[in-house]
Structure 1
């Protein structure tokens, strides 16, 4: 067993702030789907694209840039 103490990636406050920011992005994407209408192309494309984009960013950014894969060997 190692005697060194556990070293965290982020502080608790930073983790909570990041969670709130990306969860708000995800909820914003879900909320934009409520404006989806099939009446015309513009009314169908804009909310759907915004919703998919926000949901994609809320999942892709934390998993790609803030994941633990960069520090697996340390």
Structure 2
């Protein structure tokens, strides 16, 4: 036969979080709890007491900062700046 034999395709590339369902669910639950607690802390806010607002800002900051820096791909920034596109 004149047709070349097809080689089996390689496994498709894995994407961020692929195959880590339980880890993703736990991380989402923890961050959502931090976010919900930040909103709940505002129920204790009074104009004479600023601590609930400070707690709210801290928890809100952590709920968004942890996934974007610690759990995210922030460690690949220096490599990507050099032109290495492999994750």
Structure-2-length-normalised TM-score: 0.68
Instruction: Tell me the number of residue pairs that the alignment of Structure 1 and Structure 2 aligns.
Output: 69
| Structure whose alpha-carbon radius of gyration is higher | 2
Q: Which of 6, 9, 12 in structure 2 is aligned with 1:5?
A: 12
Any gaps of 5 or more consecutive residues in structure 2?
Answer: 1-8, 77-84
More helix by share: 1
Structure-1-length-normalised TM-score: 0.78
Q: Which runs of 4+ in 1 moved over 3 A?
A: 69-72
Any gaps of 5 or more consecutive residues in structure 1?
Answer: none
Alpha-carbon RMSD across the aligned residues, in angstroms, is 2.0
